[in-house]
Structure 1
Amino acid sequence: MLSDLSWLALEAKYLEPARTFYEEELGLTVGERGDDELVCAAGETDLVLRRPQTLPRGGIHTHFAFAIPETEYDEWWDRLAETYDLEEAQFGPARSLYLYDPDGNCVEIGQQDVAGPGIDGVFEVVLEVEDLDRATEFYEYLGFEIVDEGDDRKRVRLHGPMALELWEPHLGIADARGGVHVDLGFETDDPVAALEAVGDRVQSVERETTDEVVVRDPDGHFLTFIS
């Protein structure tokens, strides 16, 4: 139903430190820029950095993951370790490093099957939810499928346009937390069909046209379905 992650929006108290981190430290290209928002290209997904001036706000303390080619990992580690206190985790044969941006978002950079060079997509986003069963069911109606459930019963991992982790409040790897009031954009062939799949479960419908639907999920995260 949902084909691609179009954007992930984060809240930035001040745009310049956020720009410096993502453009100069992580090598993302800044495209659109306004007084209260700038957009960085992370492969096919936009990373939107937004000051808290209007709704939707960007997510705060959001944990998400950038994809890099497997062969680049050691170079990324060596370079970032000169400045940041990194943590590392291993998932099967793949390694990921973790660091924090200026606004307290936990940024994972992990080995994935991508072309690169450099960051080539967002492959995971973590949302904080109040009721894990309710949130899981909501995203299953949008076509996500459960692939893993945490032993502590505080998290569920789903597969869709990207990996989506739903966390009840707790600290994960590198003391990461799930994001609050995160703004996600998804591409789909039929935005209205996506709304119909979850219409009786959303917190609100913010906008509805044939080409774009904006809703708030049961935990207040903004979801946009665009064709």
Structure 2
Amino acid sequence: MFTGLSWLALEAKYLEPAAAFYEGELGLSVCERGPREVVFAAGETDFVLRRPDDLPRGGLHTHFAFSIPETEYDDSWDRLDDEYDLEEAQFGPARSLYLYDPDGNCVELGQQDVAGPGIDGIFEVVLEVESLERAREFYEDLGFETVDTGENRKRVRLHGPMALELWEPHLGIADARGGVHVDLGFETDDPSAALAAVRDRIGSLERETEEQIVVRDPDDHVLTFTSQ
């Protein structure tokens, strides 16, 4: 149903230090810079930092993962290790490093099959949910496929335009937490079909046009179905 992740938006209390972290430390390029938000290019996905002075706000303490080429991992580790308390995890042959941004979001840089150079996409986003079963069914009806359930029964992993992890409240790798009121944009050929699949379970319908539909899911995450 979804053909791509259009954007991920996070809340930043102060835009300047948050933007400096992602631009200076992680090398993202700025696409737009305004008084309320800064938009970066993370491959084909927009990565947005937003001040909490209007709605939607953007996600709090969100754990998410940027894609980097396999060959750039060691250089990324060496460049960040002196300044940050990094943690590492191994997933099969791929390694990921974890660090925190100025607003307490857990940022993962993971080896992926991408061209680069540098960050080239977002391959995972973690949402905090009240009920795993309710959230899983909701996102499966939007076309995501469940591929793994955690041993502690507090998490579910789904695949779609990116990996979507649904977590009941707990601490994950590097003491990461799932995000609350996360703002995600999904590209789709038919926004109306996406709405129809979950209309009876959304928290609210915020906006509906032919090209774009904005809803809140049952856990108050903001989802935009966009044909653009």
TM bin, normalised by shorter chain, reads over 0.9
Q: Distance in 2 between matches of 1:56 and 1:5?
A: 17
Q: Distance in 1 between matches of 2:154 and 2:83?
A: 32
The runs of 4+ residues in structure 1 deviating greater than 4 Å are none
Matched, 1:226 2:194: no
Q: Deviations over 1:153-204 (max 9, x none)?
A: 0000000000000000000000000000000000000000000000001000
Partner of 1:73: 73
Partner of 1:167: 167
1:48-59 matches, cutoff 5 A: 48-59=48-59
Partner of 1:209: 209
Partner of 2:190: 190
Partner of 1:60: 60
Q: Distance in 1 between matches of 2:77 and 2:29?
A: 20
CA RMSD of aligned residues (A): 0.4
| 1:131 shift after superposition | 0.5
SS state at 2:103 partner = coil
Q: Distance in 2 between matches of 1:147 and 1:113?
A: 20
| 1:82 shift after superposition | 1.3
| 1:24 shift after superposition | 0.5
Q: Percent same amino acid among aligned pairs?
A: 80
SS state at 2:225 partner = strand
Q: Distance in 1 between matches of 2:45 and 2:31?
A: 12
1:94-105 matches, cutoff 5 A: 94-105=94-105
Q: Deviations over 1:61-92 (max 9, x none)?
A: 00000000001000000110011010000000
Q: Deviations over 1:108-144 (max 9, x none)?
A: 0000000000000000000000000000000000000
- Could you tell me which runs of 5 or more consecutive residues in structure 1 were left unpaired when the two chains were aligned: none
Partner of 1:181: 181
1:115-134 matches, cutoff 5 A: 115-134=115-134
Q: Distance in 2 between matches of 1:153 and 1:58?
A: 27
- Could you tell me which runs of 5 or more consecutive residues in structure 2 were left unpaired when the two chains were aligned: none
What amino acid is the match of 2:186?
Answer: F
Q: Distance in 2 between matches of 1:5 and 1:47?
A: 10
Aligned residues: 227
Q: Distance in 2 between matches of 1:156 and 1:27?
A: 31
TM-score, normalising length: structure 2: 0.99
| 1:210 shift after superposition | 1.1
| 1:31 shift after superposition | 1.3
